[in-house]
Amino acid sequence: MLAFPNAKINLGLNVTGIRTDGFHDIETVLIPVAFRDILEIVPSGEQEVEFRFSGSTIPGKADENLCLRAYHLIKSVFQIPMVRMHLHKVIPIGAGLGGGSSDAAFTIKLLNEIFSLTMTPLQMMDYAGKLGSDCAFFIDNKPVFATGRGDQFEPVELNLAGYSIVIVIPPVHVSTAEAYEYVTIKKPVESLRAILKASPGEWKDRLVNDFERSVFQRYPGILQIKEKLYEAGAVYVSMSGSGSAVYGLFYQLLPDLSSFAGCNTWTGKLA
């Protein structure tokens, strides 16, 4: 059975404090976008689970992949057989697009469907949350206001009809741990909820990603991508998550992407 785990972007990202558990408190809005990996899972009848991947490079050991971790988590609760999994990786790792988290969440959803486990969305979200802070987001896969570690969700209403998105991913891996090491923790000047009530054309300089300042200092090429997207006519541009991906929102017209040679680019609609 096939599934197509999708990416996400962050609209605003405020890092507001350090928690007693060592994690950071954040607030952000998560939006699903149709930039997708391909995941296939089939029952195998073998003695061991088989995991293969293709496409973009996946760093680390294969047996530590989030798809496998998700499978073993579900198998520890339900008596499911061994499977063969093939992940074709399209969403780059270390881009702030949540590709690994999405793969894990879609593994849980596929296993639930293949083996008729009858898990509810809340149950699947609980299991997904054990694998990463934003994994649970991809179970419902709808825009949310995220707080806490990025794992507490509230529905959010946004009207982005008529807008297109361009995502530009440079050949740079930004470590999430490194991004948090250098970020400046502060209370937001303006409420994220209040900013999002305005049109995207009013978000520039108001809707901020707290990771940008330190990431741009260490990787000035990422800042240049942001500047180029504004020059191309974007109404709003931001880094997603802790980077390295940068997205631009365009109203109606899409830009010429030839100036982003050497980068991975994706375009799509927002509605």
Q: What are the catalytic residues?
A: 8, 134
Whole-number Å distance between alpha carbons of 159 and 177: 33
| Nearest Cα to Cα of residue 220 among 244, 238, 237, 201 | 244
DSSP state of 120: -
Q: Rg (Cα) of the chain, in Å, rounded? A: 19
Helical axes 99-114 vs 66-75, angle rounded to 10°: 30
Amino acid identity, position 77: V
Cα 249-254-257 angle, rounded to 5 deg: 100
- Tokens (6 digits) for 148: 């806490």
| Nearest Cα to Cα of residue 166 among 90, 244, 232, 262 | 232
